Structure 1
């Protein structure tokens, strides 16, 4: 059943109605943690450039294990942030951008599951469900970036409401979500026309964490599926260059934390290595951790018992040295 209900995606009084609209959990799902119910629509009326969009949103469940959920959002038309508030806020916010090859966004593995870990240490987390570039949006490849930039601005402009500092907004992106987080970190231009007072504030994050990111759009290390869904079957060299993170101007960007497994066969570790070279040349404060094993898309759950399971603590220690609580 589709989790997406346009009319219910508002805060406060709408929360009970939203909870009622969520699918009834089956026996196979009943042991998994409940979803947060505070949901924020990114756009007050409708997302920009949707006149040619005809897709219908879906959120299928792939898990048959009662201990966890594994959903993905596809054909999103009304992008949202789901808020996960900590019991003891530390003043920091984190926008989580899940991966999915720009074909869909995996909500649990790289969204809610990771958010729970950082919310437990006091960070107010926002899981982004963003639009996808091949669904007919006028902005095309920039449609997901519009959502990411708008989300950062909403968090910053409403920082007091969320109990966070406007200069302590991190973004964490995984896989193709890492590419999107990288775009939001590197690009200084707004991908959409301003619509309200939220669009007056800065659209760049104060800290960026990129997990096994899709960085390059160029052969031989490109993740072909991400490139196809973002730029089409035969993008020009100019388009490839324009959306390759390692070819962008990162001067003045916020500090970056890179995390990758050496045995990642889906998104080769060269993606992080090339980006690291660019960040170093731009004098961006950067820390990189490369693990011998872990594969791709491990998030939190898939590396339990392996060396890479310590990555949240490594990220917290790095951020703390920058006076940024995570």
Structure 2
């Protein structure tokens, strides 16, 4: 078998990634993971753009051996989708969820469906994005994930009336590398692909943006090196680093943005959020930031239970109420 650069990096990351004993050891449990939502939306019904050189095969891997929860990640996505979680009592607000994975893969549960559940319980219709990755040979290169994020936001907004949603109350929440992608979606005004249909005539700008322990900078010393390598390659130019560093972008006129980070995050240093916070304030963006003493990286919902940072979804919801995004 011949491995390309993408395969080799993915296998090395899997070998090096810390895995909890809970994930490795079968657990006797009477609890079963909640069922997955069954509604999905294809982003590109006629095929994603720029795939002429793409030869990968999509796969989803399960890491959990505990029947009470899933811990899946998606790699080599070629047909990106939105998985829809509809609340029992929708309030008209919607949220695009962009999970992390260091641009190597996109997690499905920890920063996706697990996060969707408390927001859906509060009435928010959630759309979980499974996006394409920059190392898989797409013509758009570093912008390929952003193409999917822009298209996803536009589809949510275009479908809003039919779905009983408000087209001016469409938020985005991104975690880790997904926070970087959500930040690109929020900050960049330029379209990254040619219009395919009427959905591409509407704005891809979110109405509120939540960045959860985001990979923000591409510059040393605070960069998450793995995300930068996957996004920009092993030797990016100074121009590339600046172009994809959120704190270097023009945020003037951008929507209200919330930053959430743990100060003991050893994977994505909190300076990622602190530097971006200074940029947002200088640009006059309505901003709120929450820095927790402990929590590490990638805590999502389940891994922060019983610790101070577990309140973060409630903080987002209260902020959304004050902004008028959650209810009007």
TM-score of the alignment, normalized to the shorter chain, above 0.5? yes
Match runs of 1:205-224 below 5 Å: 205-224=206-225
CA shift, 1:28, in A, is 8.2
Corresponding pairs, count = 301
On the 8 A contact 1:29/1:64 being kept in 2, the answer is: no
Are the aligned partners of 1:98 and 1:173 in contact in 2 as well (CA < 8 Å)?
Answer: yes
TM-score of the two chains, using structure 1 as the length reference: 0.91
Instruction: State the match for 2:62 in structure 1.
Output: 61
Gaps of 5+ in 1: 1-26
The Cα shift of 1:32 comes to: 0.3
Match of 1:248 in 2: 249
Match of 2:310 in 1: 309
- 3-state SS of 1:72 partner: strand
Q: Distance in 1 between matches of 2:103 and 2:134?
A: 7
Say if 1:29 and 1:65, in contact at 8 Å, map to a contact too: no
Deviation of residue 309 (structure 1)?
0.3
- Aligned partner of 2:127 in structure 1 is 126
* CA distance in 1 between partners of 2:226 and 2:188 (Å): 23
State which drifts further: 176-185 or 158-167. 158-167
Q: Residue 109 of structure 1 corresponds to which residue in structure 2?
A: 110
Which residue in 1 is equivalent to 2:322? 321
Report Cα offsets for 1:52-105 as digits up to 9, x if no partner. 000011100000111100000000000000000000001000000000000000
- RMSD of aligned alpha carbons: 1.4
How far is the alpha carbon of 1:44 from its aligned partner? 1.6
Following TM superposition, by how much is the alpha carbon of 1:324 offset from its aligned partner in structure 2, in angstroms? 1.2
Alpha-carbon separation, structure 2, partners of 1:225 and 1:189 = 26
| CA 185–309 in structure 1, closer or farther in 2 if over 3 Å, else same | same
Deviations 1:233-280 (A, max 9, x none): 000000000000000000111000100000000000000000000000
Q: Which residue of 2 is the match for residue 271 of structure 1?
A: 272
Provide the residue aligned with 1:146 in structure 2: 147
Mapped to 2, the partners of 1:209 and 1:313 lie a distance apart of 13
Distance 2:318 2:123 in 1: 14
Which residue in 1 is equivalent to 2:165? 164
CA contact (8 A) 1:94 1:171 kept: yes
Once the two structures are superposed, residues 142-177 of structure 1 have per-residue CA deviations (whole angstroms, 9 ceiling, x without a partner) of 000000000000000110122110000000000000
Gaps of 5+ in 2: 1-27
Give distance in 1, aligned partners of 2:88 and 2:140: 38
> Is the Cα contact below 8 Å between 1:119 and 1:125 reproduced in 2?
yes
Give structure 1 regions of 4+ aligned residues with deviation exceeding 3 angstroms. Answer: 27-30
How do 1:261-300 residues align onto structure 2 when only pairs under 5 Å count? 261-300=262-301
In the TM superposition, residue 125 of structure 1 has moved relative to its aligned partner by: 0.2
In structure 1, what is the equivalent of residue 14 of structure 2? none
